[in-house]
Structure 1
Amino acid sequence: MFRTLLAVVALNIPTLARADDPPGGKADARLALQWRKGTPSPFARVESPTAVVDGKMYLFGGFTDDLGASNRVDVYDPATDTWARKKDMPAGLTHLNPAVDGKIIWFAGGFKGKHPGPVTAEVWKYDLAADTWAAGPPLPERRAGGGLTVVGRRLHYFGGYKTDRDTNAGDHWSLSLDGGKEWAREADLPDPRGHVSAAVLDGKIYALGGDHGHDKTQIDVPSCHRFDPATKTWSAIARLPDGRSHFESSTIIRAGRILIVGGRCNSSEPPRNVVGDLLEYDPKADTWRVVGELPEKVLAPSAAIIGGRLVVIGGGLNNPRPLTAATWVTDIADGK
């Protein structure tokens, strides 16, 4: 059981109705969530790359309240509700996403330093067991805000922003994890976009949401695509109910489905700078459904399901400030 030191908060969260719900909704599709507070993050953070290894959440850098780029690494253990610090990242980086290969966590590209920092092509790998960092083969071009995944023995990077921090890229490259020295060209991502969320399910790569533009104007988009490494082709899947971005570190695989936690829908009517719903994709039905709500609306939090608990940490309470250091936890059924 979760440690008794947690402050328990009973919240009766209303279900978010959607226009595509049948009358009365689907009761069996809704998650019964009772949120409670865990030990807060060591500092308020947003857009913090997040990886889960051995039942623990690793949070890498992210923006601080003054929009500086942190380089510190903190790990949260939901079983004990405790935090520990690991070796700092080589630099303060944001707008990059982790990909896990066993005990190695990979990172590629990103914005470097305090906002608005330059775009980098650097690739880094963190050895969890040794608590050390080492450089990997750099990306063919500088990129930030793209998706990064591991499928089989290859690392895939796609989408993001080019060197001007604003132009969207559709480039897609892959790197062999068995001693690869150079990235290979793959099929371009349809609808080039940044802040794209990446997930792997049943051996296929999912590119979910994101936005067009960045520094000048950001427009959240509903685009969703799936890449099949066997055929090396992308295909369109059901679009998000609204344009959505800023959920890269809160995209979770759950019981053969993809769960999105929070984010931003600035192209909806009316616009939503922060989102409080849990949105789930069923690949068999090719449909999206709201299945629950957060205790507070939040942009770009860190989220994971570990040991039957959904953990949500940090994020922005507006677009993005003020930031929060809150840790929220709820028991969650495995689903069907």
Structure 2
Amino acid sequence: MMVRASVKVGSAKFVVICVGLLGFALVADFLWASTSSTLPTSTKPSAFVVPSNHNKKKYENATASGRFLAAAYADLDAPQLKWQKMAPAPVPRLDGAAIQIRDLLFVFAGYGTIDFVHSHVDVYNFTDNTWGGRFDMPKEMAHSHLGMVTDGRYIYVVTGQYGPQCRGPTAHNFVLDTQTRKWRDLPPLPVPRYAPATQLWRGRLHVMGGSKENRHTPGLEHWSLAVKDGKALENEWRSEIPIPRGGPHRACVVVDDRLYVLGGQEGDFMAKPGSPIFKCSRRQEVVYTDVYMLDDDMKWKTLPPMPKANSHIEFAWALVNNSIVIVGGTTEKHPITKKMVLNGEVVQFNLNTLKWSVIGKLPYRVKTTLVGFWNGWLYFTSGQRDKGPDDPSPKKVIGEMWRTKLKLNE
């Protein structure tokens, strides 16, 4: 009798547990739907069943069950480009930085692995297609998530993350004389930032947005500092008009006396609380298509959005025939697997027409590329590539260098 009673009690408990789990699932689904409906319209791609053949099998189960993927998660249709593999960089890099001055590409810092960061500069010569001239960075300089820009001789280096994993940012700023390879200090930012949008505009070094000190919260602040010939003309940064939307990993470009900020994201990995090594811990991120511009009015203007959401592109661009060309990046996370999705396209923003075009495919999907353009050739190196043609999530940190002949209509 006792055995039979225990069986009935156990069955009742099982039913209660099942009902509870069903109720929890319904509540979670309702909350997810409510949260997604509050996202800005520019970050909500339209519903779309993924059509690409090489992804079809992977997504068949999801679409058959009635789950539609958003267009932003799929590869965009694009023509094939003929890529040539060049000499690889001396080391693989993720979240590094790069500045082109004439036929030289200066490649800075970055992660080698999540536990190891580089503290030197490598130089690529586009004329003879060789690497050489390695030199060290200052010991106090950030190793990733840098803001960086050049006036054609001096490279201004702003803030960033100091150390591996998800360590804190530094407010230290520097300037490099690329002719003498000597470094000089610049006044520190009012507060440090991760991966802020950085440019030289009208004689001032502008620093905008990025992530705040916790690495996740978007910053809206915009500061500027008067500089000339590698020297600061002021001791303190001046507050400017805040950027409409904060966050890191954006492209920032000045063309014809107009300042453009493209793409980026809100949110990022954070250090795990109490971790002695500041181990990275995943957080919610929203990647966006937003494009903003400043001109004589000193008011931010909204321009046509990118073809799909794109982040990790701060050094992934080049100017070609009055167009901004962007190579790779990341888009919104996969809605089912929740994994990061890399972009595998080259896109063009024509500044004459203010129209976007998808102009080619990369050898693979890849983020944080370091890009240059020389003598008709578009180059990219470094970053983190996908797991393969059927899996757009990131895997291997690379140092490969590729180039393709690129000709754009003005």
> TM-score under structure 1 normalisation?
0.87
Aligned residues: 311
Matches within 5 A, 1:37-56: 37-56=85-104
Cα distance between partner residues in 2 of 1:124 and 1:200:
21
Q: In structure 2, what residue type is equivalent to 1:209?
A: G
Q: Retained in 2: the 8 A contact 1:50–1:97?
A: no
- Find the residue that maps to 2:397 and give its secondary structure: coil
- Find the residue that maps to 2:385 and give its secondary structure: coil
| Unaligned stretches of 5+ residues in structure 2 | 1-52, 54-70, 72-76, 270-282, 387-392
Within the alignment, does 1:89 sit opposite 2:137 as a pair?
yes
Report which stretch shifted further, 31-40 or 240-249. Answer: 31-40
The partner residue of 2:189 within 116, 129, 139 is 139
Cα distance between partner residues in 2 of 1:161 and 1:33:
35
Cα distance between partner residues in 2 of 1:280 and 1:98:
22
The partner residue of 1:238 within 304, 307, 329 is 304
Shift of 1:306: 1.1
Shift of 1:334: 5.1
Q: Retained in 1: the 8 A contact 2:142–2:159?
A: no
| Aligned match of 1:65 | 113
Q: Which has the higher helix share?
A: 2
| Aligned match of 1:255 | 321
Q: Retained in 1: the 8 A contact 2:340–2:394?
A: no
Shift of 1:128: 0.5
Structure 1 runs (4+) deviating above 3 angstroms are: 30-33, 267-272, 318-321
Shift of 1:204: 1.1
- Find the residue that maps to 2:346 and give its secondary structure: strand
Cα distance between partner residues in 1 of 2:298 and 2:234:
19
| Aligned match of 1:183 | 237
- Asked which structure has the greater CA Rg, the reply is 2
Within the alignment, does 1:286 sit opposite 2:354 as a pair?
yes
Residue 213 to residue 62, structure 1, CA distance change in 2 (3 Å)? same
Matches within 5 A, 1:111-150: 111-150=161-200
Deviation string 1:43-86 (CA, Å, 9 cap, x unpaired) is 11122211001211110011112342211100101221211133
- Find the residue that maps to 1:165 and give its secondary structure: coil
Residue 92 to residue 67, structure 1, CA distance change in 2 (3 Å)? farther
Within the alignment, does 1:173 sit opposite 2:223 as a pair?
yes
Q: Retained in 2: the 8 A contact 1:265–1:272?
A: yes
Q: In structure 2, what residue type is equivalent to 1:219?
A: V
Q: Retained in 1: the 8 A contact 2:89–2:131?
A: yes
| Unaligned stretches of 5+ residues in structure 1 | 1-13, 20-24
- Find the residue that maps to 2:315 and give its secondary structure: helix
Cα distance between partner residues in 1 of 2:220 and 2:115:
27
Deviation string 1:231-282 (CA, Å, 9 cap, x unpaired) is 2211111112222101111111111111110001125768762111011112
| Aligned match of 2:370 | 302
| Aligned match of 2:344 | 276
Deviation string 1:23-49 (CA, Å, 9 cap, x unpaired) is xx9xxxx87732111100001112221
Cα distance between partner residues in 1 of 2:170 and 2:290:
26
Q: Could you say which structure has the greater relative contact order, defined with CA pairs below 8 angstroms and 6 or more residues apart?
A: 1
Q: Retained in 2: the 8 A contact 1:146–1:160?
A: yes
Shift of 1:92: 4.7
Q: Retained in 2: the 8 A contact 1:254–1:335?
A: no
Q: Retained in 1: the 8 A contact 2:383–2:398?
A: yes
Cα distance between partner residues in 2 of 1:253 and 1:205:
13
| Aligned match of 2:59 | none
Q: Retained in 2: the 8 A contact 1:186–1:232?
A: no
Q: Retained in 2: the 8 A contact 1:243–1:268?
A: no
Deviation string 1:130-155 (CA, Å, 9 cap, x unpaired) is 10111101111111111110113111
> TM-score under structure 2 normalisation?
0.72
Cα distance between partner residues in 2 of 1:148 and 1:189:
12
Cα RMSD after superposing both structures = 2.2
Q: In structure 2, what residue type is equivalent to 1:332?
A: L
Report which stretch shifted further, 82-91 or 198-207. Answer: 82-91
